[in-house]
Amino acid sequence: RSPNKRESRYFGKLNIKVLRENGQLVGFVAYYMKNFFLGQLLFLAVNPEFRGKGYAQQLMKYAIDDMKQMGASMITLVTRTS
């Protein structure tokens, strides 16, 4: 259900933001707007070397704020057990 070639209504809509510190990859967040009021956060990952420092919170806040600016009044988070 993420933006892909088969779902043309989502084409070009996936936002991926990368966080770096001193040139090293800290983590990333990927999200998009499913429609004019619903945002979906797909991925949030932080390099194990940088965990426990609040970077995931920064990435999540950035994505939520950005989706709110795009009109989101509701945001869903995709989770997996693995």
pLDDT digits (tens, 9 = 90+) for 10-27: 666 899 999 999 999 999
Pairing of strands 24-33, 38-46: antiparallel
Name the DSSP letter for residue 53.
S
Residues with Cβ < 8 Å from 29, sequence gap 6 or more?
16, 17, 41, 43, 44, 45, 59, 60, 62, 63
Give me the tens of pLDDT residue by residue for the chain, a chain 82 residues long: 456 666 666 666 899 999 999 999 999 999 999 888 999 999 999 999 999 999 999 999 999 999 999 999 999 998 887 6
- Strand segments, DSSP code E, in the chain are 15-21, 24-33, 38-46, 74-77
